[in-house]
Amino acid sequence: MAFALTGYIAFGKDVAGNVLNNFPAGDSFIIAARMLLAVDMMVVFPTQFYPTRTAIMEVVRTRSRVVVSLVLWATVVGVSCIVHDLGSTFELVGIVASTCIAYVLPGLCYIFAVREKLTQPCNDELENERLLVHCHTGSSDNMLEAKTFADGHIGNNKILYGGSIFIVIFGIGTIVIGIITFILKLMK
C-alpha cells in the first residue's frame, strides 16, 4: 500500500500499472529494480503454481502432473503474451479474488458448515447433552448457561444462515458489477 501511495504521489493520475514503467528506461537503479522484480517473479511463481496444479488435479481427478503442468504453464504464458497492461490484469484479479475472499467464500463456508444441522430434525436432549459435555466444568451455573445457549442455538444458526446467503449474493453481485464496469472501462 505504501508503494502504491508513493507512486500515486509521485506521478498522479499518470502512474502506470507497473510503477517502474514511469521511470526512464536507462536509469541504473530502475534496471536493478526490474531485475529484482524478475528474480522475485521466478521465485514466487512455483509457490503459486504448485497449489494451483494440485487443486486442478483434484478437480479433474487425474494423476498426470506433466500434462496438467504443461497446460497450466501454456495458459499462463499465453495470457502473459496477450495481456500487455499489468494494471488491468491486477484490477480484474482484484475484482474477482478479493470479493470472493471477503464475501463469497466466508458465506459459503458457513452455509456448508451448518446446512445439515438446519435440515435435520433436532433432538433437543441430545443437542443439550453434547453442549453440556463441552461446557461442563463442574458448576451448575455453567450447565444452565449451556442449556440456555442450546435452546437458542438453532434459531441463531437460521439467522446467520440467512445472513450468509445475503453476503454470498451481495458478493456475486459485486463481482458482476465490477466486471461490467471493468469491461466498459476497457471499451473506452
Q: Which of 165, 138, 134, 160 is nearest to 149 (CA)?
A: 134
* pLDDT, position 25: 85
> Cell 442455538 maps to which residue?
153
* pLDDT, position 99: 93
Domain positions in the chain: 1-82, 85-188
| Predicted structure pTM score | 0.52
DSSP single-letter state for residue 20: G
Could you tell me the three cell numbers for 104? 463469497
Q: Each residue of 110-122: pLDDT tens digit?
A: 888 887 666 555 5
* pLDDT, position 115: 74
Query: From first to last of its 188 residues, what are the pLDDT tens digits of the chain?
Result: 787 788 888 888 888 777 888 888 888 999 999 999 889 988 988 888 899 899 999 988 888 889 999 999 999 888 888 877 777 888 888 899 999 999 999 999 888 888 766 655 555 555 544 444 444 444 444 444 444 444 445 556 778 888 999 999 999 999 999 999 988 988 87
- Spatial distance between the Cα atoms of 75 and 122, rounded to a whole number of angstroms: 49
- Spatial distance between the Cα atoms of 131 and 150, rounded to a whole number of angstroms: 7
**Which residues have C-beta within 8 Å of that of residue 175, sequence separation ≥ 6?**
95, 96, 99, 100, 104
